[in-house]
């Protein structure tokens, strides 16, 4: 009787065709055909984040993580876009390396978003837009698709990396969403780094935005009129990331300074779970950018995940969600951008703004691919 041991994948999830656990099995000669069938099945599914490889005489896993990041939907003029493209590329690389080094999808999206928060090139962290009172009110969220745990924080004035506070809310508290003074206190308690609340660069940008606004109507009209009259102030460079790690888990994170010149106390989609951020191992992960009030009303990130859970590829899911906005909320400020990854490692990105600054990295690439365009949905 021949007897040997092998690590075999098993328990294929019927819908997503993902492998969810390993089993150590013994086989005997009579079972050999079963084993061959089983291995063939595993090797045919080549879009997994990992695959079986022969290495030094024994079977080992190859880690094939996937990450996509965005630096925001909006209009990127040539002057600013080069630095932004470089930053999204580096952010994708940061997240990818985190997973290649054994980190989880949550680690990857947090590190990628923290990188973009620190860059100063986006409307998040160091580059946050100011509200109408000339103050910073940042917000961020993160979600773990393996556990459906989520954390979010908002109305932050000087926390260096709002996404790290969101993660602490997720992992160290019983809550999902903490805002304002309570969130600031929590950041202090956990010893998170702070940053100067309002910098000269932020003030300069605020003045330019305000000047544009006042040159038009002389007072603050409703949002639709503001955007129609002054598309140049409509810069929505929220940042976000979605990832699939080597264990097959997905995660998403999003961070923003919010809508430029927003009312004090306004909270958008970025920290609102399901709206700007969602992740579920049964479908995939999504991060949104654009007009928060639109994403909130359509629970947009969850909608994209539901589309993927029902069998649509991430690209189709993102495009369909943008189309849904146009169908259900046909106003003049219904512009959004979306990135998504599914549990098979496929990536999708779509937008209705002129640009979406984004990048992605997979094991098949030498370096991240970055672009100012994805699929434009008109
Ligand atoms: N999506 C960013 C915001 O509306 O605040």
pLDDT in tens, 116-172: 999 999 999 999 989 888 899 999 999 999 999 999 999 999 999 999 999 999 999
The residue annotated as part of the active site, out of 94, 98, 238, 256, is: 238
What per-residue confidence (pLDDT) applies to 237? 78
CB of 270 within 6 A of ligand 1: the answer is yes
More confident of the two residues 51 and 26: 51
- Residue 65 Cα to ligand 1 midpoint, Å, equals 28
Nearest CA to ligand 1 atom 5: 258
Strand, coil or helix: 313? coil
pLDDT single digits (tens) 63-113:
899 999 999 998 888 888 999 999 999 999 999 999 999 999 999 999 999
CA–CA distance, 227 with 230 (Å, rounded to integer): 5
Contact 49, 64 (CB under 8 A): yes
- Residue 340 Cα to ligand 1 midpoint, Å, equals 17
Closest to 240 (Cα-Cα) out of 165, 140, 93, 118: 140
Q: Which helix (H) or strand (E) holds 207?
A: helix 200-216
Residue 29 annotated to the active site: no
What per-residue confidence (pLDDT) applies to 213? 66
Q: Which atom of ligand 1 is nearest to the CA of 266?
A: 5
- Residue 291 Cα to ligand 1 midpoint, Å, equals 5
CA–CA distance, 177 with 172 (Å, rounded to integer): 12
Residue 47 phi, psi (nearest 5): -95, 10
- Has residue 274 got a pLDDT over 90? yes
Question: Could you give the C-alpha distances from 63 to 96, 109, 366, in angstroms and in order?
Answer: 11, 17, 15
Describe the crossing of helices 300-309 and 314-328 by its angle, rounded to 10 degrees. 130
pLDDT single digits (tens) 190-222:
999 998 778 888 888 888 777 766 665 444 445
What per-residue confidence (pLDDT) applies to 184? 94
CB of 268 within 6 A of ligand 1: the answer is yes
**How, if at all, do strands 149-156 and 138-144 pair?**
antiparallel
pLDDT single digits (tens) 324-356:
999 999 977 788 999 999 999 999 999 999 999
Mutation test residue for ligand 1: of 236, 264, 335, the one with most atoms within 8 Å of CB: 236
Q: pLDDT band for position 225 (50/70/90)?
A: low
Three-state secondary structure string covering 46-114 = CCCCEEEEEECCEEEEEECCEEEEEEEEECCCHHHHHHHHHHHHHHHHHHHHHHHCCCCHHHHHHHHHH
- Residue 234 Cα to ligand 1 midpoint, Å, equals 11
Average pLDDT over residues 297-321: 98
What tokens were used for 75?
């209009």
What per-residue confidence (pLDDT) applies to 32? 36
> What is the 8-class DSSP label of residue 359?
E
What per-residue confidence (pLDDT) applies to 168? 98
- Has residue 10 got a pLDDT over 70? no
CA–CA distance, 236 with 215 (Å, rounded to integer): 21
CA–CA distance, 85 with 370 (Å, rounded to integer): 6
Contact 100, 66 (CB under 8 A): no
CB of 238 within 6 A of ligand 1: the answer is yes
What per-residue confidence (pLDDT) applies to 226? 58
What per-residue confidence (pLDDT) applies to 233? 52
Q: Is 279 exposed, middle or buried (0-12, 13-18, 19+ CB in 10 A)?
A: buried
- Furthest-apart CA atoms within the chain: distance in Å: 89
Q: Which atom of ligand 1 is nearest to the CA of 259?
A: 5
CA–CA distance, 13 with 147 (Å, rounded to integer): 17
Average pLDDT over residues 246-251: 97
- Per the prediction, the chain carries an average pLDDT of 83
More confident of the two residues 29 and 75: 75
Strand, coil or helix: 371? strand
Domains parsed from the chain with CATH numbers: 2-61 (no CATH), 66-376 (3.60.20.30)
Question: Could you give the C-alpha distances from 85 to 121, 128, 202, 254, 359, in angstroms and in order?
Answer: 9, 18, 20, 18, 8
Full-model pTM = 0.82
């Amino acid at each position: 009787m021949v007897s040997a041991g092998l690590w075999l994948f098993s328990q294929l999830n019927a819908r997503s065709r993902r492998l969810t656990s390993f089993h150590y099995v013994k086989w005997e000669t009579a079972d050999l055909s079963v084993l061959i069938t089983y291995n063939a099945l595993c090797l045919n599914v080549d879009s997994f984040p990992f695959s079986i490889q022969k290495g030094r005489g024994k079977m080992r896993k190859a880690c094939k993580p996937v990450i996509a990041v965005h630096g925001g939907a909006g209009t990127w003029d040539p002057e600013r876009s080069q630095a932004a493209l470089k930053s999204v590329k580096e952010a994708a690389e940061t997240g990818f390396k985190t997973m290649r080094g054994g980190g989880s999808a949550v680690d990857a999206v947090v590190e990628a978003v923290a990188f973009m928060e620190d860059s100063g090139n986006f409307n998040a962290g160091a580059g946050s837009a100011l509200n109408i009172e000339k103050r910073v009110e940042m917000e961020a969220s993160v979600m773990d698709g393996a556990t459906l745990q989520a954390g979010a924080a908002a109305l932050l004035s000087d926390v260096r990396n709002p996404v790290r506070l969101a993660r602490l809310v997720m992992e160290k508290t019983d809550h999902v969403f903490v805002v304002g003074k309570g969130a600031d206190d929590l950041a202090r308690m956990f010893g998170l780094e702070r940053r100067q609340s309002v910098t000269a660069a932020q003030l300069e940008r605020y003045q330019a935005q305000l000047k544009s606004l006042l040159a038009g109507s002389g007072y603050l009209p409703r949002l639709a009129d503001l955007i129609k009259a002054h598309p140049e102030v409509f810069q929505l460079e929220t940042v976000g990331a979605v990832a699939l790690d080597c264990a097959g888990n997905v995660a998403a994170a999003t961070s923003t300074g919010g809508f430029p010149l927003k009312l004090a106390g306004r909270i958008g989609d970025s920290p609102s779970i399901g709206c700007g951020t969602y992740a579920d191992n049964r479908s995939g992960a999504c991060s949104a950018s654009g007009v928060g009030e639109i994403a909130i009303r359509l629970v947009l990130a969850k909608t994209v995940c539901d589309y993927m859970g029902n069998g649509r590829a991430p690209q189709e899911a993102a495009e369909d969600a943008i189309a849904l906005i146009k169908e259900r909320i046909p106003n003049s400020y219904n512009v959004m951008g979306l990135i998504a990854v599914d549990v098979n490692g496929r990536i999708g990105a779509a937008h209705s703004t002129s640009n979406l600054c984004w990048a992605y990295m997979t094991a098949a690439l030498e370096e991240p691919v970055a672009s100012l365009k994805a699929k434009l949905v008109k």
